[in-house]
């Protein structure tokens, strides 16, 4: 019998957070090993575990997997969150691709200078409210059902809720999007997700200076990223 998935990453959100979200939504318990020193990271690389010498990495079902999208696709398929056929999978990939783009603007935010953070905050809110949220609002409005696929809960719903909550940490953005407001409440009340949203879960908080310092130290990052 396979053990719990084990995740290798920093003690913070980053690219691993969506993997935590999806495992939690599927009701899967997982373990974590946090990278805190350069030596830990180098040892992981020397062991040859991460195929492309990078994290996130997860040990799952006897595999040591890297590449965030591959991990998410595998978890979604394994736990029946990846649609019923090729058409549904294509739609899920499209919806997830949009939320990935939006979350990408947010992932770099902690690493920006103070001046660039203000620019990036405005950029994130503008993109969310003018491009991404209107698209998901239209999908939900057009079919009038509970989930992005209609009546089937999927990875796309988990990913969208994660994105909504990330943007809401920057600004109150759902005014004018009634279907997304109802969607947020509905998906957030699913028992496994509700549990993940409670204090004390393995969900990570908003990245702080300590997280940024750890990532820079472990990965030897000596530069500031630039805002969009």
DSSP 109-133: GGGS-HHHHHHHHHHHHHHIIIIIH
Shared domain for 23 and 75, answered yes or no, is yes
Shared domain for 38 and 67, answered yes or no, is yes
Average pLDDT score over residue span 8-29? 97
Q: Is residue 146 part of a domain?
A: yes
CA–CA dist 172, 224 (Å, integer): 27
Shared domain for 204 and 183, answered yes or no, is no
Shared domain for 36 and 94, answered yes or no, is no
Tell me the residue range of the domain where 34 lies: 6-79+197-219
pLDDT digits (tens, 9 = 90+) for 186-210: 999 999 999 999 999 999 999 999 9
Q: Is residue 49 part of a domain?
A: yes
Q: Which residue has the higher pLDDT, 159 or 39?
A: 159
Shared domain for 111 and 179, answered yes or no, is yes
CA–CA dist 147, 140 (Å, integer): 7
pLDDT digits (tens, 9 = 90+) for 19-40: 999 999 999 999 999 999 989 8
Number of domains in the chain: 2
Q: Is residue 163 part of a domain?
A: yes
């Amino acid at each position: 019998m396979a053990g719990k998935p084990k995740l290798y990453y920093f003690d913070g959100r980053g690219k691993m957070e969506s993997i935590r979200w999806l495992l939690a939504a599927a009701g899967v318990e997982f373990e974590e090993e946090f990278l805190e020193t350069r030596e830990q990271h180098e040892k992981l690389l020397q062991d040859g575990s991460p195929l492309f010498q990078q994290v996130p990495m997860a040990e799952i079902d006897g595999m040591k997997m890297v590449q965030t999208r591959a991990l998410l696709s595998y978890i979604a398929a394994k736990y029946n969150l990846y649609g019923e056929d090729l058409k549904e999978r294509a739609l899920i990939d499209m919806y997830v691709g949009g939320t990935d783009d939006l979350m990408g603007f947010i992932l770099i935010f902690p690493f920006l200078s103070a001046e660039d953070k203000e620019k990036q905050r405005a950029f994130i809110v503008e993109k969310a409210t003018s491009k991404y949220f209107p698209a998901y609002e239209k999908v939900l409005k057009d079919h009038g059902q509970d989930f992005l696929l209609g009546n089937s809960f999927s990875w796309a719903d988990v990913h969208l809720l994660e994105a909504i909550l990330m943007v809401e940490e920057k600004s109150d953005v759902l005014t004018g999007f009634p279907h997304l407001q109802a969607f947020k409440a509905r998906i957030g009340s699913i028992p496994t997700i509700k549990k993940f949203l409670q204090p004390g879960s393995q969900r990570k908080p908003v990245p702080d200076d300590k997280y940024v310092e750890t990532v820079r130290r472990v990965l030897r990052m000596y530069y500031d990223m630039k805002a969009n």
